[in-house]
Structure 1
Amino acid sequence: MQEKLAPRLIAHVDMDAFFASIEQRDRPECRSRPVVVGALPGNRGVVSTCSYEAREFGIRSAMPIAEAYRRCPNATFLKPNMRSYSEASDKVMAILASISPVVEQVSVDEAYLDISGLERLHGSPETIGRKIKAAVWQATELSCSVGVGSNRLIAKLASEHNKPDGLTVVLADQIVAFLDPMPVANLRGVGPQTLKTVQRLGIRTVRQLREYTLESLQHYFGEKMGGGLYRQARGEASAHVGVRGERSSISKETTFGEDTKDLRKLRDTLRQLTAEVGRTLRREGLKGQVVSIKVRLPGFETYTRQRRLAFAEDRDSMLFTVAWELFATSGKMGQPIRLIGMGVSDWGEGSGTMLDLFDSTQPSDRDHRLYSMMDEATDRFGKGKLSLGIPDKKPKS
C-alpha cells in the first residue's frame, strides 16, 4: 500500500511596518506616533514605509512625500537608516533558518518557509507560527505577521489577513471558506485597471469571481490575467520554496529637487550613481555585460537606453563612460530632467569573443588593486571621500 504524502505547508513571514517599527523601537519619542520613512518634506521622493499610526491618515508606501505631509504634517519624517534595517533583517532571517531548512527571502522584511513535515520537531502549524513570532520579538523587539497555507498564495494572503502581529493558518479544507468573502482587490496582480473591469462586471468578492468560467475571464481580462484570476479564485498556486537566485541587476537613481538641464550636474550625478553601482558589483563579486540608463522628464515620461559590452565589467570608469554616452545620444540633452539613473545587468565573464591582449580597456591587476583600495577607503571614511579620476570630456550637446 502506497504511503500517503503529508500535505504541503508553507509559511509566509512579513515584518510589520518594518522600517518605521525599527525607528519607533530605537527612538522612544516616536512610539505611538505617526512615523514616515522616506524622503523628507520639501524634497521630491516617496514614502518608503510608515507606521500604523500614520496609515490612519491614509498614508501609504510609494505615496509622494508632499502628499504624505499634506495628510499629516505633524508626523515624524525620517530618512532611511539602511544599516539598522539590514542588521534587523539578518537576525530575522537567521531565526527563520533555525526553524526550517528551506527558507526563501523575498525582500528585506519578508520570507517564505517550507514547514512541511516539521510537526514532530516543532509542533502544529499554529505552534510553529507562535514560535516564529516569539523568537523574532525576543531577538529584535519587533512584531511580525505569519500566514500558513498549502501554497505560496494562501500563505501570503493569510499573513496579510490579520496584520499587524497576526497569525492565520488556512488548511487545505479551509481554503474556499477563507477566500469566499475576500475582496478581489486582495488577489495578486489586481491593479487599478483590472479592478475597474472587475467592478464593471459587478464582481466584489472572490466567491463571485469563482462563478466565472476560465473562458469568460480570459475574454474580459486576457489569457494570462484571466487564467491567473481563475486559479487564484480556487486557491491554486505554486508551493515551491527555494533559495532565490542572485539578483538580476544592480541600479541606482536620483530624483532632483528641481528639474535640471545642467550637464555638469547631470554628469556628476551619473558619476556618483555609477560609483555606487560599481562598489556594489565588486562587493558581491559580480560583473555585468549590459549597461543601462533611465531618464525621467518633468511630465513623468520615462526613457531607458542600454548597451551590451564586449566583456563583463565592474570598473566605475568603463561603466560611467558607457552610461554617459548613452545619455549623450539619448536625445534628452537640453531638456529638463527630473530623474536620472543607471544600472548593470547580465552577469558573466565575457561574451565568448576573443579579446585583444593589448586592449587598454580590459581590466588589469593594477585596476583591481586601485578599486580594492578605493572600496576599503569608502568603507572606512564614507562615500564621496575618494574616487578614481574619470576623464572629464565635455559632451557634445
Structure 2
Amino acid sequence: MPRLILHVDLDAFFAAIEQRDHPEWRGRPLVVGAQPGGRGVVATCSYEARRFGVHSAMPITQAARRLPPETVYVRPRVAHYAQVSAQIMAVLATISPRIERVSIDEAYLDVSGLTALFGPPRVIGEQVKGSIRQAVGLTASVGIGPNRLIAKLASDYHKPDGLTVVLEEQVADFLAPMPFNVLRGMGVKTAPRLARLGVKTVGDLRELSLETLRQHCGARAGTQFYYQARGIADDRLYPDRERLSISKERTFPEDVTDPKQLAETLHWAAREVAWTARQTGRLGRVVTLKVCFYPFETHTRSRSLRVPTADEQDLYQVAWSLLASEATWTGRPVRLIGLGLSGWSQPTTGQQLDLFETAETGRNPADNGLTETLDAIRHRFGAEAIQRGIGLHHQGN
C-alpha cells in the first residue's frame, strides 16, 4: 500500500482569525504584531497586506510605510488562537487517528489506506479543507505526498486555500524546478556554497554526486540533501499525545567544566524548549534542570514559577540559577546537561497574559516585542538566522 502523508497549513492563521471575528476587517490589509510608531515586527499579516510586499519579520516601521491608511493593526491574542487551533486538531483527528501537530497552525496526517473510506487523495484533501471551514470558518492549504517533505512542499505550492497532490511517480518532476533552498536543513551558510557551484534548482542539485555534496556541505547535511533532492524523506508520523513536559538536553563528546560552555548549552536548550512551547500554545510553571556527571551520576533540580512562561530568557535564568546554587557541583566534569518545562497552564481569554509575557524576572516589557520579532524571523528564515545573546552576568564571572 503506497504511503500518503497529508500536510495541512492554516492560511495566515492569526490574521484570518481576526478577520473572521471582525467582519468589518475583511478585505482590508491587516497586520498582527507591533503597532505603528513603535518598535517590533509583523508577526503575520493578511493576504491583502501581502499584496503591498509586507511579510512576517518585517519591521513595523517599514510595513506601515507600505500599507494604506485603512490598514488594521492588532496585537496577538495567542490564547484565543490556541483555542481555535485545538478545535481544528480535534476535527482532523476525526478524519485520521494518526495525526502529528507540529505547530499552532500546522499538522501532518497519515491518510494511507483511507482511499477506501473517502476516495482518491484529492477527495481526502477536500474533506480536510471542508471540515476545517465548517468547524471554524477558516481556509487551509493542503498538500499530499508519499512523505513529509513532499507533503509540506505541496501545501506551500498553491496558497492560500490550495490543494496539491503529488503521487510517488510525480515526485521527481515536482521537485526539479523548485529553488534548491526549499530542502530541509538548508542553512544560511550552506546555501551560498551550493550557489557557487552553479546550483539554482533542486534539479541542479540532483546532478551533484553524493561525494561532492558531502565535501561542500558536510557528511550529514550532504547526505540529507542528496536524498531529499530525489524525494526520499521521512514518512513517519509522531502522533500528538499530550506532552507532560518539553525538554532538550545535550551529551558532550568530552566532559565539560567550562562555565561558559555550560551556559551556552543551557541557553540553546532554553531557546528550543521555549520555541516549542510557544508553537504549541503552552505556558509552563515548572523549570527543571538535568545534569549528568561521570560516569552516570544524574541529578535533577526543579523550581516552580509564580507566573507561567514560554520565554527563553526566563527559562535560562532559572536553570542557570539552579545550577549555580549547587556549590558541590562547581568544577565537576559534566557529561550531559538539559532543561525541561512542565506544569502547563493554559491561558484563558479572561487573563491578560499571552505567550510573549514575561514571568517573574522583572525584565523590561519591551522584551516581549523582541520575542515576537525573533519568532517571526525564525518562522521566515529558520532557526539559524538570529538568536539572543547570553547574559554573561548570570555566570558569576
TM-score interval, normalised by the smaller of the two chains: 0.5 to 0.7
How far apart are residue 73 of structure 1 and its match? 5.5
From 280, 283, 301, the equivalent of 1:280 is 283
How far apart are residue 239 of structure 1 and its match? 0.6
Residues 171, 228 of structure 1: alpha-carbon distance in 2 compared, 3 angstrom cutoff: same
- Equivalent position of 2:371 in the other structure: none
Deviations 1:277-311 (A, max 9, x none): 9x9335xxxx33239xxxxxxxxxxxxxxxx9863
Deviations 1:133-188 (A, max 9, x none): 11111111111011001000000001001111111111111100111111112222
- Equivalent position of 1:316 in the other structure: 306
Residues 381, 209 of structure 1: alpha-carbon distance in 2 compared, 3 angstrom cutoff: closer
| Counterpart Cα distance in 1 of 2:149 and 2:7 | 9
How far apart are residue 195 of structure 1 and its match? 2.7
Please give the secondary structure, in 2, of the residue aligned with 1:90.
Answer: helix
Q: Decide whether the 8 Å contact of 1:312 with 1:348 is kept in 2.
A: no
- Equivalent position of 1:338 in the other structure: none
- Equivalent position of 1:165 in the other structure: 161
- Equivalent position of 1:64 in the other structure: 59
Deviations 1:90-135 (A, max 9, x none): 2211111000010000011110000011111111111100011111
Q: Decide whether the 8 Å contact of 2:288 with 2:319 is kept in 1.
A: no
- Equivalent position of 1:31 in the other structure: 26
Superposition map of 1:1-397 within 5 A:
6-72=1-67, 74=69, 75-244=71-240, 246=243, 248=246, 280-282=283-285, 287-290=286-289, 311-316=301-306, 323=317, 345-346=339-340, 382-383=351-352
Residues 379, 11 of structure 1: alpha-carbon distance in 2 compared, 3 angstrom cutoff: closer
Residues 312, 76 of structure 1: alpha-carbon distance in 2 compared, 3 angstrom cutoff: same
Q: Decide whether the 8 Å contact of 2:99 with 2:108 is kept in 1.
A: yes
Q: Decide whether the 8 Å contact of 2:289 with 2:300 is kept in 1.
A: no
Residues 380, 222 of structure 1: alpha-carbon distance in 2 compared, 3 angstrom cutoff: closer
Residues 216, 41 of structure 1: alpha-carbon distance in 2 compared, 3 angstrom cutoff: same
Q: Decide whether the 8 Å contact of 1:289 with 1:309 is kept in 2.
A: no
| Counterpart Cα distance in 1 of 2:107 and 2:139 | 14
Q: Percent identity?
A: 46
Query: What 5-or-longer segments of structure 1 have no aligned partner?
Result: 1-5, 251-272, 292-307, 331-343, 350-374
Query: What 5-or-longer segments of structure 2 have no aligned partner?
Result: 249-273, 291-297, 325-337, 354-358, 362-393
Please give the secondary structure, in 1, of the residue aligned with 2:2.
Answer: coil
How far apart are residue 225 of structure 1 and its match? 2.1
The structure, 1 or 2, with the larger RCO (C-alpha pairs under 8 Å, 6+ apart) is: 2
Q: Decide whether the 8 Å contact of 1:9 with 1:148 is kept in 2.
A: yes
Q: Decide whether the 8 Å contact of 1:38 with 1:80 is kept in 2.
A: yes
Residues 102, 58 of structure 1: alpha-carbon distance in 2 compared, 3 angstrom cutoff: same
Greater shift, 308-317 or 79-88, is seen at 308-317
Residues 237, 325 of structure 1: alpha-carbon distance in 2 compared, 3 angstrom cutoff: closer
Please give the secondary structure, in 1, of the residue aligned with 2:233.
Answer: coil
Residues 168, 289 of structure 1: alpha-carbon distance in 2 compared, 3 angstrom cutoff: same
| Counterpart Cα distance in 2 of 1:239 and 1:119 | 18
Q: Decide whether the 8 Å contact of 2:5 with 2:235 is kept in 1.
A: yes
| Counterpart Cα distance in 2 of 1:18 and 1:90 | 13
Residues 14, 313 of structure 1: alpha-carbon distance in 2 compared, 3 angstrom cutoff: same
Residues 288, 195 of structure 1: alpha-carbon distance in 2 compared, 3 angstrom cutoff: same
| Counterpart Cα distance in 1 of 2:136 and 2:5 | 23
Please give the TM-score of this superposition, normalised by the length of structure 1: 0.66
| Counterpart Cα distance in 1 of 2:348 and 2:84 | 20
Please give the TM-score of this superposition, normalised by the length of structure 2: 0.66
Larger radius of gyration: 1
Residues 380, 52 of structure 1: alpha-carbon distance in 2 compared, 3 angstrom cutoff: closer
Please give the secondary structure, in 2, of the residue aligned with 1:181.
Answer: coil
Please give the secondary structure, in 2, of the residue aligned with 1:113.
Answer: strand
Deviations 1:195-226 (A, max 9, x none): 32232221111111100001101111222222
| Counterpart Cα distance in 1 of 2:352 and 2:299 | 27
